[in-house]
Copies of this chain bind each other. A is one copy, B any other.
Amino acid sequence: MSDERRPSFGIPDEEFIRGKIPMTKEEIRVITLSKLQIQQDSVVLDIGAGTGSISIECSLIARLGKVYAVEVVDEGIELIKKNIEKFGVKNITPIHGMAPKSLEGVKIVDRIVVGGSRGNIVEILEWANDHLSKDGIIVANFITIENLFYFIEALKEKKYEYELTQVTIAKSKTIKDITMMQGHNPVFIVKAQR
C-alpha cells in the first residue's frame, strides 16, 4: 500500500515478511508500542528484533528519530533487512549481534524495547544505566518466569519504577459459521522508567 494509505501504527502480522523466526503477535506488539510512548524524534533500541516487526513500527512513529535493531540470528537479520526494504523506511540500523556486547556504536537512546534478551536482561539494564536518556522508557516482553523475575529484581535494585501487565489473548477460528476460541501463550510486558 502507498505511504499515505498506511495506518500510523498497527501493521497486521501478515504484512511482514516472515521466515521461521518467531514474531511478536499483533496484539502484543501494539501494547508494547503503546507503553513505549515513542515520539517523533525518539532514538529507539530494539533488542531481539526478530523479523523486525517492532522496529518497523517504531521507525514509522519515530520518523525524525532512529531505530537500532539488534538480532543475533542470521535469518533474523536478513528478514529485518527485507522488511526495511518492503516498508521503505530509512531510519533503522540493523546490528547483527547480541546486546549489550554488540552495542559499541550506540550512544544515547530514548527507548529500549526487549523482545528477547537471551538471558542477558540484567546486563542490558546495566548498559541502560549509562545509555538511556533521562526520561527514557524500557519495555520488555517475557514468556518465562525466571527472566521476568530477574528483570524486576534488577529494576528494583536500580531504583526504576515499573509496571507489569500480563496479556492473555484468545482468537476465533471460524468453522462452518461456528466461532471457536483458541488460546495463545500469555506474555508478560514490563514497562520501566526512572
| A4, closest chain B residue (CB) | B40
A168 contacts B by Cβ under 8 Å: yes
Residues of B within 8 Å of A37, CB to CB, are: 7, 10, 12
- Tell me which of B145, B167, B180 contacts A27 (CB under 8 A): B167
| A170, closest chain B residue (CB) | B166
Flag if B164 contacts A181 (CB, 8 Å).
Answer: yes
CB neighbors of B among A120-171 (8 A):
143-149, 152, 156, 162-171
| A60, closest chain B residue (CB) | B8
Count, chain A residues at interface, CB 8 A: 53
Cα(A30)–Cα(B166), bound, Å: 15
Report the stretch among A76-84, A87-95, A98-106, A182-190 that lies at the interface.
A182-190
Flag if A40 contacts B163 (CB, 8 Å).
Answer: no
- Tell me which of B38, B164, B167 contacts A167 (CB under 8 A): B167
Flag if A146 contacts B145 (CB, 8 Å).
Answer: no
Would you give the 0/1 interface string for A3-34, flagging 1 where the beta carbon is closer than 8 Å to chain B? 01111111010000000000000110011011
- Report if A156-B168 is in contact (Cβ < 8 Å); known contacts: A39-B6, A185-B182: no
8 A-B pairs with C-beta separation under 8 A: A9-B34, A30-B30, A30-B33, A30-B34, A144-B181, A145-B145, A146-B179, A149-B149
Interface, chain A (partner B; CB < 8 A): 4-10, 12, 26-27, 30-31, 33-41, 61, 143-149, 152, 156, 162-172, 174, 177-186
**Closest A-B pairs by Cβ, 6 of them:** A10-B34, A164-B172, A183-B183, A149-B149, A30-B34, A168-B168
Given A10-B35, A145-B148, A145-B179; 13 other pairs, CB 8 A cutoff: A5-B39, A8-B9, A10-B33, A10-B36, A27-B165, A145-B149, A145-B152, A146-B179, A147-B178, A152-B179, A162-B172, A165-B171, A170-B183
